[in-house]
Amino acid sequence: MILANLTTADLTERLTSRAGLALGIGPFHLRLTSDVAAITPLLQQLYRHYPLTDQVIRDFHLHLSGSALHRRWLRPQVQLLVDGRAPFEPLPAAHHLPALEWGMNWCIALRCNHLLMLHAAVVARGEHAIVLPAWPGHGKSTLCAALIHSGWRLLSDEFGLVRPADGALLPLPRLIPIKNAAVTALQTFAPSAEFGPTFYATRKGDLAHLCPPGESIAQSDQIARPRWLIFPRWQAGAALNLQPVSPTQAFLRVATNAFNYETLGGSAFTLVTEMVRSCNCYSLTYSALPAAVAALETLT
């Protein structure tokens, strides 16, 4: 059963009940409750493909809370609670969905040290994956979004999850936050791309969330293997440039880009070594999505 099977009344009832809305997102199970009415239609639009889960043990318990009565008219706010605690400052009430998404990122980054977490997008065809590690602002999410509208399966936009036992990449298909002018670029590249509303003046600029494809979510239990390591960098007006990267330099770029490389120590070293060994490694500088996607098609 997926979220789309719930009526609005059912969804609202779950969100406001103690049991909450239990969702499976990749390898994680989360329980969400909320008294913010505005989040309900966004969940119906952007989370409609996600499976409802009857897992008793949940990885994260999230509560999205609106303002107390006296603040509803004076700069209303939204607060995300994680396991009953408030690790974040409240945000403007209009930023409810970004608050939820950032909170989930925080939960994953802090609590999933049983996996190697790369700051990387991952897309796949069959079991062969492109891993796209990049620093913020280098166009990783935008390129990832373009690829999933070009026949690639979304495994991850933010967290490339590597299983220590065998180096497999675990799918974690989530909403993809697209910032500022990249929204227009993507809408031009892929008119069928489905976005949620734009949230203006967030701490990361104006952003809109891209709905992940239902097929990618339905295949969340299908691992992939790293085959190409691509280090993307978007630069306004830059000519397309695809250059091989030496294995050693690729290693360094992956390791310094991981969230928990030092925490995992020798295990992370071995995983990154094996990943580099099994991949062809390139840096990709681009300014136009069609050319970047075409270059990767040629490569793969």
Residues making contact with another protein (CB under 8 A)? 246-249, 251-252, 255, 261-262, 265-266, 269-270, 272-273, 276-277
Do residues 257 and 134 lie in contact, with contact meaning Cβ atoms separated by under 8 Å?
Answer: yes
In the bound state with another protein, the residue whose beta carbon lies nearer, of 27 and 164, is 164
Minimum separation from the CB atom of position 252 to another protein (A): 6
In the bound state with another protein, the residue whose beta carbon lies nearer, of 234 and 261, is 261
| CA distance linking residue 100 with residue 66, whole number of Å | 12
Q: Between the CA of residue 81 and those of 52, 103, 294, what are the distances in Å?
A: 21, 8, 43
Give the pairing of strands 28-34 and 21-25.
antiparallel
In the bound state with another protein, the residue whose beta carbon lies nearer, of 4 and 252, is 252
Minimum separation from the CB atom of position 246 to another protein (A): 5
In the bound state with another protein, the residue whose beta carbon lies nearer, of 193 and 275, is 275
Minimum separation from the CB atom of position 205 to another protein (A): 34
Angle at 46 between CA 58 and CA 32, to 5 degrees: 25
For 4, the token pair is 């789309």
Minimum separation from the CB atom of position 278 to another protein (A): 12
Do residues 131 and 171 lie in contact, with contact meaning Cβ atoms separated by under 8 Å?
Answer: no
Minimum separation from the CB atom of position 229 to another protein (A): 13
In the bound state with another protein, the residue whose beta carbon lies nearer, of 145 and 275, is 275
| CA distance linking residue 115 with residue 153, whole number of Å | 21
Minimum separation from the CB atom of position 277 to another protein (A): 7
In the bound state with another protein, the residue whose beta carbon lies nearer, of 200 and 269, is 269
Minimum separation from the CB atom of position 120 to another protein (A): 18
| DSSP class per residue in 260-289 | SHHHHTHHHHHHHHHHHHTSEEEEEEES-H
Close Cβ partners of 121 (under 8 Å, ≥ 6 residues apart): 131, 132, 134, 140, 141, 143, 144, 156, 157, 158, 160
Q: Please tell me whether residue 110 adopts helix, strand or coil conformation.
A: helix
In the bound state with another protein, the residue whose beta carbon lies nearer, of 153 and 253, is 253
Q: Between the CA of residue 209 and those of 6, 168, 184, 244, 277, what are the distances in Å?
A: 22, 27, 13, 32, 34
